[in-house]
């Protein structure tokens, strides 16, 4: 039998490897930015067009490459970071496998320009699908500029699987945040389609966080600092009152490398236990410094997951450090049973000094002298007080009970008559009084001819609100209530961009915006059905939904907005409803076009017939 196993050609092997390294444009951004950092750059620029599908370019002022290194950098497993297997356990750089540039060059058009400081001229290399088109000498500034064009041009199937530009841009911005937060000592800039998205100067860690997420972030941060033999922790956590429903502002960095760890995230969540509302997630920006020999980075293609030697110790140190910071800055509640609260200084007298009391003595006072009644001077209006009579005068004019006649009592009228229900009530009257019942503050039971309905109150209300909002968005005639005082809310620049996208649709539902700035919005009107206290929750939920479900070409932004708002405003499980509210909910549900399912295609009610009930008792 003939041999059937054969070696793959290099260009095919590179395309297969690219599937692990390059999943979307954001993967290219991550690899190129990390290469620029490894090149000891102090200033890095990122240029993106069409969410990276057309162009991703990174320009740095690092040490550059020689002509030979520039050519060799596109070969598989060519790297300057490691020389032996032992080096894998003491890594201090970002890239080390030598796969990134080879994988990127296999599926895109790449143009590289680089020059070392001591050289007079640099090198330019153009590669298309792993094939070198040209290599020549060029005049270029110190550092490296690499442009990746037409990503996945030779793999159309992979290109078709890319999401919309808004989704891909969000992933690029996420990677940009992760790299820039890990290196506040480097200045970064990002441009999308020619317009500036971020301009981050060299700064300290706190200022870098504020520059990315907005000025309002500064007052939300609580510093965390812990130094042990095993682990050194530095960074910030967010105050509990600013916790969000999304996990967008959660960053772990281990030796200046962004990682994802559900185990360490649980340590933060346990430190915040009792301080957060249900469904809220804390924000944190934490740098962990550990011995490189105690971690293994080479367990995941994207290097975002790390294996620790002793996770339990790290968990305990991290949890106690965060808890200590929350208590140190008076954020965690503290109860001191030995302290007498009566001895506390009231707030009004906290910073006031003690005043010397003055004593006045009436030297003419004689306790043995007869008291003289002062004679009042006549006033302009004379008033003569009637002498008080004896106590019997209080009862003058009143007749005794014996003189009362039965006719007098017949004229007494009561404001309301007391109603007493009969012990034996007609069954038809009971049905007229109550046709619905609420079970465990979650389900509404309603009677029908064939049996009964079990209605999920949360999903049913979602369906009702969803169709109302969808109608308002389509007809564009929603009612709005004006706020007495404008409501000002603060968001990050990325969240402001999302609000700009849905601003017109929000206005159709009844929202009115006075201004939208770089890090804040001012709202002067809200829909009639929306309480003012719920506005920030609705917008946070909407931003989270847009980030995770940004509509593609076949998806309606109006539909997404209606779903998000109905999810935020629907009555929750555990909320008690009056009889009138229950009946109104049932009537409104069955007036909907599709009462059977919620906006997320989950059943709103189930029917239980009398036959099914009878079978339960067999």
| Residues 83, 38 share a domain | yes
CATH number at residue 470: 3.30.1370.100
Q: Which domain holds residue 233?
A: 214-328
| Residues 295, 259 share a domain | yes
Nearest CA-CA partner of 165 in 551, 544, 541, 558: 551
Residue 11: pLDDT band (50, 70, 90) is low
| Residues 87, 31 share a domain | yes
460-464, 491-495, 561-565 — most confident range: 460-464
| Residues 555, 457 share a domain | yes
Q: What does the block give as tokens for 139?
A: 């005049």
Q: What does the block give as tokens for 233?
A: 């922790």
| Residues 241, 158 share a domain | no
Neighbours of 470 (CB within 10 A): 21
Element at 71 (helix H, strand E): helix 67-72
Q: What does the block give as tokens for 24?
A: 């979307």
pTM: 0.67
pLDDT tens digit sequence for 199-250: 999 999 999 999 888 888 888 899 999 888 888 999 999 988 888 877 778 8
Q: Is pLDDT of 181 > 70?
A: yes
Neighbours of 294 (CB within 10 A): 14
Element at 611 (helix H, strand E): helix 610-616
Q: Is the dihedral of CA 37, 168, 132, 125 positive or negative?
A: negative
CB neighbour list of residue 144: distance below 8 Å, 6 or more residues apart: 35, 36, 39, 58, 59, 60, 62, 64, 65, 112, 113, 114
Residue 352 lies in a domain: no
Residue 358 lies in a domain: no
Nearest CA-CA partner of 88 in 269, 306, 315: 306
Q: What does the block give as tokens for 498?
A: 């999302």
End of a domain among 328, 363, 388? Answer: 328
Q: Is the dihedral of CA 467, 473, 475, 480 positive or negative?
A: positive
Measured in degrees and rounded to the nearest 5, phi and psi for residue 40 equal 60, 40
pLDDT tens digit sequence for 387-411: 555 566 666 666 555 455 555 555 5
Cα distances (angstroms) measured from residue 559 to each of 346, 504, 545, 589, 602:
54, 14, 12, 19, 16
pLDDT at 187: 94
pLDDT at 552: 45
Residue 499 lies in a domain: yes
CB neighbour list of residue 31: distance below 8 Å, 6 or more residues apart: 21, 22, 95, 100, 101, 104
| Residues 149, 17 share a domain | yes
| Residues 526, 491 share a domain | yes
How far, in Å, CA of 489 to CA of 519, rounded? 9
pLDDT tens digit sequence for 599-614: 888 899 998 888 888 8
Residue 526 lies in a domain: yes
Q: What is the DSSP letter of 244?
A: B
Asked whether 55 and 147 are in contact (CB, 8 A), the reply is yes
Residue 207 lies in a domain: no
pLDDT at 89: 55
Asked whether 232 and 226 are in contact (CB, 8 A), the reply is yes
Q: Which stretches of 422-553 are DSSP H helices?
A: 427-433, 457-475, 493-509, 535-548
Vertex 301 angle, CA 300 and 307, to 5°: 15
Residue 108 lies in a domain: yes
Task: Calculate what percentage of the chain has a pLDDT beyond 90.
Answer: 18
Q: Is pLDDT of 60 > 90?
A: yes
Q: Is pLDDT of 419 > 70?
A: no
| Residues 234, 98 share a domain | no
Q: At what angle do helices 557-569 and 535-548 cross, to 10 degrees?
A: 140
CATH number at residue 104: 3.30.565.10
Nearest CA-CA partner of 107 in 15, 41, 209, 28: 15
Q: Is the dihedral of CA 66, 67, 71, 72 positive or negative?
A: negative
Give me the residues paired with residue 480 across strands: 527
> Into how many domains does the chain fold?
3
Between 532 and 188, name the one with better pLDDT: 188
Nearest CA-CA partner of 277 in 250, 249, 242: 242
| Residues 235, 178 share a domain | no
pLDDT tens digit sequence for 433-449: 567 888 888 899 888 88
| Residues 63, 160 share a domain | yes
End of a domain among 274, 308, 328? Answer: 328
CATH number at residue 300: 3.30.230.10
End of a domain among 328, 361, 382? Answer: 328
Asked whether 148 and 109 are in contact (CB, 8 A), the reply is yes
| Residues 541, 497 share a domain | yes
Nearest CA-CA partner of 438 in 248, 586, 596, 266: 586
First-to-last alpha carbon distance for the chain, in angstroms, is 68
| Residues 142, 57 share a domain | yes
Q: What does the block give as tokens for 49?
A: 């067009």
How far, in Å, CA of 563 to CA of 240, rounded? 27
Asked whether 584 and 457 are in contact (CB, 8 A), the reply is no
What average pLDDT score do residues 542-546 get? 77
Residue 413 lies in a domain: no
Residue 335 lies in a domain: no
Nearest CA-CA partner of 463 in 566, 586, 575, 574: 566
Round the average pLDDT of the chain to a whole number and report it.
80
């Amino acid at each position: 039998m003939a041999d059937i196993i054969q070696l793959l050609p290099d260009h095919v092997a590179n395309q297969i490897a690219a599937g692990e390294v390059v999943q979307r444009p954001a993967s290219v951004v991550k690899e190129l930015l990390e290469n620029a950092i490894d090149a000891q750059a102090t200033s890095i620029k990122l240029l993106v067009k069409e969410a990276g599908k057309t162009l991703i370019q990174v320009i740095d002022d690092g040490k550059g490459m020689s002509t030979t290194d520039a050519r060799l950098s596109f070969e598989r497993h060519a790297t300057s970071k490691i020389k032996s297997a032992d080096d894998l356990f003491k890594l201090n750089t970002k890239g080390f496998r030598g796969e990134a540039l080879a994988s990127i060059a296999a599926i895109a058009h790449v143009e590289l320009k680089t020059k070392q400081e001591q050289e007079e001229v640099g090198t330019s290399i153009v590669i298309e699908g792993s094939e070198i088109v040209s290599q020549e000498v060029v005049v270029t500034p110190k550092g490296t500029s690499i442009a990746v064009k037409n990503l996945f041009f030779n793999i159309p199937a992979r290109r078709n699987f890319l999401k919309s530009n808004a989704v891909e841009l969000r992933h690029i911005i996420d990677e940009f945040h992760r790299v820039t937060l890990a290196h506040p000592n480097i200045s970064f800039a990002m441009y999308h389609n020619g317009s500036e998205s971020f301009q981050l100067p060299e700064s300290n860690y706190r200022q870098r966080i504020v520059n990315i997420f907005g000025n309002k972030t500064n007052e939300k941060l609580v510093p965390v600092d812990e130094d042990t033999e095993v682990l050194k922790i530095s960074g910030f956590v967010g105050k509990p009152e600013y916790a969000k429903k999304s996990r967008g502002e959660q960053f772990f960095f281990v030796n200046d490398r962004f990682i994802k760890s559900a185990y360490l995230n649980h340590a933060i969540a346990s430190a915040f236990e009792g301080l957060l509302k249900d469904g809220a997630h804390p924000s944190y920006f934490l740098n962990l410094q550990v011995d490189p020999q105690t971690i293994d980075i080479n367990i995941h293609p994207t290097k975002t997951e790390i294996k620790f030697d002793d996770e339990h110790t790290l968990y305990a140190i991290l949890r106690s450090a965060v808890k200590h910071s929350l208590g140190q800055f008076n954020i965690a509640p503290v109860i001191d049973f030995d302290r007498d609260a009566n001895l506390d200084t009231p707030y009004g007298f906290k910073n006031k000094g003690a005043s010397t009391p003055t004593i006045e003595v009436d030297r003419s006072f004689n306790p043995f002298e007869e008291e003289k009644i002062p004679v009042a001077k006549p006033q302009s209006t004379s008033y003569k007080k009637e002498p008080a009579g004896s106590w019997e005068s209080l009862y003058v004019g009143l007749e005794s009970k014996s003189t009362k006649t039965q006719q007098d009592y017949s004229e007494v009228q009561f404001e309301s008559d007391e109603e007493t229900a009969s012990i034996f009530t007609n069954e038809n009257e009971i049905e007229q009084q109550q046709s619905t019942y609420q079970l465990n503050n979650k389900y509404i039971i309603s009677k029908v001819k064939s049996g009964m309905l079990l209605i999920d109150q949360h999903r049913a209300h979602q369906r009702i609100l969803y169709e109302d909002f969808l109608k308002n968005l389509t007809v564009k005639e929603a009612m709005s209530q004006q706020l007495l005082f404008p409501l000002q809310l603060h968001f990050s620049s990325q969240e402001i961009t999302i609000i700009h996208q849905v601003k017109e649709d929000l206005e159709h539902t009844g929202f009115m915006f006075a201004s939208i700035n770089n890090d804040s919005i001012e709202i002067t009107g809200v829909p009639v059905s929306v309480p003012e206290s719920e506005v920030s929750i609705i917008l946070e939920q909407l931003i989270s939904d847009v980030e995770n479900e940004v509509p593609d070409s076949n998806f309606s932004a109006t539909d997404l907005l209606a779903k998000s708002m109905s999810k935020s405003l629907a009555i929750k499980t555990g909320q008690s409803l009056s009889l009138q509210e229950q009946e109104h909910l049932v009537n409104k549900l069955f007036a909907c076009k599709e009462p059977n399912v919620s906006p997320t295609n989950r059943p709103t009610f189930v029917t239980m017939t009398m036959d099914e009930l009878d079978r339960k008792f067999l």
